[in-house]
Chains A and B, each alone.
Chain A
Amino acid sequence: MRSSTRRTRIMATCAAIALVGGISTVGVVSAAADTPSPSASSTDSVLNVGILQDIDSANPFTGVAASSYEIYQMMYPTLTNYAAKDFSTAPGIATSWTESADHKTWTYQIRPGMKWSDGVPMTAADAAYTFNRVINGKYEQTNFGNYVANITSAEAPSPTTLVLNVSRPTPNMTHLAVYILPEHIWKNVSESQVQSYKNEPAAGQTIVGGGPFLLAQRVVGQYIRMVRNPNYYGKAPALNEVDFRIYSNGDAMGQALKKGEIDFADSLEANVFNSLKNVPGITTVPAIYSGFDELAFNTGAALDTGKPIGTGSPLLKDVKLRQAIGWAIDRQTLVDKVLGGLGTPGSTIIPPLYANQHLDPANPVTYDPAKANALLDAAGYKMGPNNVRVAPNGTPLSFRLNGRTNSPSSMKTVQYIQGYLAAVGIKATVTNISEDALTQKIGEGDYDMFEWGWVVEPDPNYQLSTFTCANRSYLSGGSITANLSDSFYCNSAYDALYDKQGGQTNPDERIATVKTMQQMLYDDAPYILTYYYDDLEAYRSDRFTGFVPQPAPNGALLFQYGTYSYENVTPVSATSASADSSGVSSALIIGLVVAVVIIAGLVFALVRRRPATGVDDDRE
């Protein structure tokens, strides 16, 4: 859920779009300036993490920001976890689980002897309470409804047994991302209060939780303090405290890492990331990530009822045209030029990070403009005047292409795509608009092509659902409302497979179905994936060690599906911590010197021009 949206990482930076763009272009950031790191002291076991987006709520029923979910998973346990190594299912508070033969009941063995942070026993009853609250709640459904869609009821026949009854075979029962809440606290928060319940601690106390860390303090817009939970059921973390500090722009966050104000920075922009690369004491990590960007087509916008809508070019309904475009796009160059090499060329919609689900297509579409031209010729799109091809019905191959003003990489990508298309006789008119405006245009089918991206969850269901007929736009109160589908792809064979995987509780069988679906989308090309981008992270390796990547060996170190790094990070011993003052970038020095000289020169010149004509008396 938290990542399966268009939020990608744009949200994190949207507050500062104009500004960050500005700063980056000035190039101030590439200037590196070091000071000795703060000496090792009692703050050694406090990990300071820089984030660009405040949590929007400490209440798991209300928050949606990615940073909020990082806090929730530190505070509250889940039944099962995603393993650090490969996203396979790992025990959480449940140590084992079984599905009944009729696929109607799941039984979880809950660890005995666990306690909430306030000492109250944590049992299967808390889990049953949480699930029932979501199932029977209204507001509670907003964040977690889709996880429990098939669950009819939850029971705790004993403190160590949880039974979940389902209406149909349900594959996601081994990874329900529902945070288990302490019943003795939340039963006092009524249905009507839950939406505005802040779940923030009073001074000197912590929020009662069951995860490795507890929320101790939140200062809106500034920082969030998480302290170690002494009653955590798992391995006790070496860290006493994890502080999240909020920065409004990536450049400042990079500077804070250099200074040692923070120990870890996530979601860095490429220019900041590169400026941190050779700084002593800092390790930079281009982690493989679950996000991709794509060139999407309007494959025939219609409502969920099938009624056509919008202004999309009918030519793009032709799968041959879309496939030919696939051969015209140089994905490797996009990775090199747009991402600065920090990513990999895109293929299918489940990123390679999820190694066991990702399909490497057997018929890879690569950069081959000659083949694109040949395919277009064969499909009847003959070259017309001004090097623009013409369809058999006489319409020129001229399309609108939207990039997003919220994302510099999006605007760059569409420039490249425009060039690639021109090279094969297709004209693209580029317009960059805001994501909000684009969402509306897409929902109404008022586009031909656009560039955007998704972040994909470990469970493929949500991502697959964005291509179903049912998730096309719909009518609501007389106006057209956008749904998940943004390509208006509609294929009954695909829909049948989607329903099938939604009932396959055998992981291997389900993966086979999911791979067939990926191949289908790859061949029908409602999307052409441009790239999978990396998550750019950096940390003070002179101060902390022991980060656990997810997946191994080159995945993200923090902001994972799980709290592995927080539980395993240890401070580096005081003796080895050192950093020396070095390299302010020469560009900055030259710039500053020039500025100082100009200012001094101006002042001097003006002063020299005296005597003036003004009042001369100075008779004080």
Chain B
Amino acid sequence: MALVAEPSAVPLPARARSGRRIGPGTRYALNQIAGSLATFLFVIVFNFFLFRILPGDPISLYTKGRDVSGARIRELQAQLHQPIWHQFISYMRDPFSQTAESVKYNSPVWDVIGPRVWPTLLLVGTATILATLIGVWLGIRSAWKRGQRFDKVTTTTTLIFYSMPEFWFGMILLIVFSVGAFGIPGFFPVGGLSTPGVDINTPAGWVDVAWHLTLPVTTLTVIYLAEYSLIMRASLIDEMGQDYLKTARAKGLLDRMVRQRHAVPNAMLPTTTLIFMNLGFVVGGAITIEDVFSIPGLGSLTVDAINGPDIPLLQSLFVLFSGAVILANLIANLLYAKLDPRVRT
């Protein structure tokens, strides 16, 4: 009684009170944000040095394929051969510089990256979301009916797809459903994101893009499924032995209610982390599937940039990728706190 009454009885100094206003939840959030910012700063610094270890000469890359005179090459080198700390300072001044040029594409790096973002987001984003929805659903069903036919079939099937080489599976789908085999007509296109001449900003264009994306998205979704269904299944099985479920059942709740209201929310925790971690990696693209289905995404751009190396482009891509992962992580952590109050303390 006294303990409860004390704060109101003795007014705290203003500073302390204002400090008190930041609840543990907010403090947790601020800590997370600060941590993420620090990580991002580290990444930016690390980023600079990482790519300078790679072999290769940017000038020879720049002049590759060009009939450039020796004098001109020397001139270019004089421009670029600055001491490393000079480069570092000018880099740190603006790590997201709009003027940094890709040596391979000869235009500002963000101009090169820009058009590659939406194909990647469409492809990997759609596949990740689909795989999450279907995978979580499968995981819940399998765990709830553990050991039964549905569980065995889904677990085995998703694991088989999970262990298949992506490009092989993609190529099989391409041959069967794009080119046509076994009497199955080749309905889907072999490559690309849209048909030349079709304006993708019209409803007909959207259908065209969806038609182009069907096979690649299917490939990725099917391959990703196991990741979500297995984690979901495992964590739900863990929960299923818990006493509170017995209590819930004892209260006479329907089995479906026990599952949806009590078991699943608790079992979602590890899956949430996984989902957000993976959403962070969406930006990185799916190199092999982009390659099989000729989709100009960020994954293949990264491979291109490494083959050079195109350091400004690599640097920017790396900042983008790590930024996305750090951001997704942050969201996961914040959401985690929301879902599981224990982590806030």
The yes or no answer to A222 lying at the interface (CB within 8 A) is yes
Which of these binds chain B: A181-189, A544-552, A553-561, A604-612?
A604-612
What 1/0 mask marks residues of chain B from 290 to 331 whose CB sits below 8 Å from any chain A CB? Answer: 111111100010011001110000000000000000000000
Given A22-B165, A33-B181, A246-B192, CB of A14 within 8 Å of CB of B160: no
- Tell me, yes or no, whether B193 is within 8 Å of chain A by CB: yes
- A255 near B174 with CB under 8 A, answer yes
Q: Given known contacts A57-B106, A245-B191, is B165 in contact with A2 (CB within 8 Å)?
A: no
Residues A252 and B107 in contact, CB atoms below 8 Å apart: no
Residues in A1-40 with C-beta less than 8 Å from chain B: 1-2, 4-7, 11, 14-17, 19-20, 22-23, 26, 28-29, 31, 33-35
Contact check, A259 vs B186: say whether CB atoms are below 8 A apart. yes
Knowing A245-B196, A255-B174, say if A477 contacts B78 (CB, 8 Å): yes
B289: min CB distance to chain A, Å: 10
Contact string against A for B residues 73-97, beta-carbon threshold 8 Å, 1 for contact and 0 otherwise: 1100110010000000000000000
Which residues of chain B have C-beta atoms less than 8 A from A253's C-beta? 191
Question: In whole angstroms, how far apart are the Cα atoms of A499 and B152 in the complex?
Answer: 78
Nearest-CB residue, chain A, relative to B307 = A14
Confirm or deny: A142 has a beta carbon within 8 angstroms of a beta carbon on chain B: yes
Assembled-state Cα–Cα distance A588/B65 (Å): 40
Cα separation A462 to B180 with both chains bound (whole Å): 47
| A497 touches B (CB below 8 Å) | no
Partner of B300 from the list A15, A57, A439, A613 (CB cut-off 8 Å) is: A15
- Across the interface, A482 reaches (CB within 8 A) one of B60, B146, B191, B240, namely B60
Contact B180 A34 (CB under 8 A): yes
Contact residues of B between 194 and 253, Cβ < 8 Å to A: 194, 196-197, 237, 240
Interface centre among A147, A481, A619 (most CB of B within 10 A): A481
Known: A145-B69, A251-B171, A588-B175. A35 touches B157 (CB 8 A): no
Does B270 touch A at the CB level, under 8 Å? Answer: no
**Closest CB in chain B relative to A606 CB, distance in Å:** 4
Could you tell me which residues of chain A, from 146 to 196, have a CB within 8 Å of some CB in chain B?
A: 146-147, 149, 195-196
**Segment at the B interface, from A70-78, A111-119, A213-221:** A213-221
* Min CB gap B79→A, angstroms: 11
Number of A-B contacts (CB under 8 A): 254
Does A225 sit within 8 A of B, measured CB to CB?
A: yes
Q: Which residues of B contact A588 (CB under 8 A)?
A: 175, 181
- Are B191 and A620 in contact, with the CB atoms below 8 A? no
Of B146, B172, B293, B296, which is within 8 A of A612 by CB? B146
Whether A4 pairs with B67 at a CB distance below 8 angstroms is: yes
Query: Contact: A245 with B192, CB < 8 Å?
Result: yes
Determine if A248 and B180 form an interchain contact, defined as CB atoms under 8 angstroms apart: no
A83 vs B163: C-alpha distance when bound (angstroms): 55
* 0/1 interface trace, chain A 236-269, chain B, CB 8 Å (1 if under): 0000000101111101110110110100000000
Q: Determine the distance from Cα of A357 to Cα of B37 in the docked complex, in whole angstroms.
A: 64
Q: Does A202 contact B (CB under 8 A)?
A: no
CB-based contact A56/B104 at 8 Å:
yes
Interface assignment of A568: CB less than 8 Å from any CB of chain B: no
Contacts A15-B307, A607-B149, A611-B147 hold; do A64 and B175 have CB atoms under 8 A apart? no
CB distance from A249 to the nearest CB of B (A): 6
Measured in the bound complex, the distance between the Cα atoms of B116 and A6 in whole Å is 28
In the complex, A247 Cα to B174 Cα: how many Å?
13
Q: Is the CB of A615 within 8 A of B145?
A: yes
CB of A363 within 8 A of chain B? no
**Which residues from A are CB-within-8-Å of B255?**
617-620
Contact partners of A614 in chain B: CB under 8 A:
145-148, 151, 237
Contact (Cβ within 8 A) A219 B294: no
Q: Does A141 contact B (CB under 8 A)?
A: yes
Q: How far is the CA of A231 from the CA of B343 in the complex (A)?
A: 72
- Tell me the nearest residue of chain B to A259, going by C-beta: B179
With both beta carbons as reference points, the residue of chain B lying nearest to A462 in the complex is identified as B67
A481 close to B57 (CB less than 8 A): yes
Q: Please measure, in the bound complex, the distance between the C-alpha atom of A474 and the C-alpha atom of B69, giving whole angstroms.
A: 13
Q: Which A-B residue pairs are the 9 nearest by beta carbons?
A: A221-B296, A612-B147, A614-B146, A614-B147, A64-B65, A35-B180, A256-B190, A146-B67, A33-B181
In the complex, 12 of the A-B residue pairs with CB atoms within 8 angstroms, ordered by the A residue number, are A7-B64, A28-B171, A64-B64, A221-B295, A222-B192, A245-B191, A248-B295, A436-B61, A443-B57, A588-B175, A588-B181, A599-B160
Report A's interface with B, CB cutoff 8 A.
1-2, 4-7, 11, 14-17, 19-20, 22-23, 26, 28-29, 31, 33-35, 48, 54, 56-57, 62-66, 141-147, 149, 195-196, 198, 217, 219-223, 225, 243, 245-249, 251-253, 255-256, 258-259, 261, 434, 436-437, 439-440, 443, 462, 470-471, 474, 476-477, 481-483, 581, 584, 588, 592, 599, 602-603, 606-607, 609-615, 617-620
Given contacts A19-B167, A221-B295, A602-B160, 18 further A-B contacts (CB under 8 A): A1-B65, A2-B65, A26-B171, A62-B107, A142-B68, A144-B67, A146-B69, A225-B196, A248-B291, A255-B175, A259-B179, A436-B307, A581-B183, A610-B152, A612-B148, A615-B145, A618-B145, A619-B255
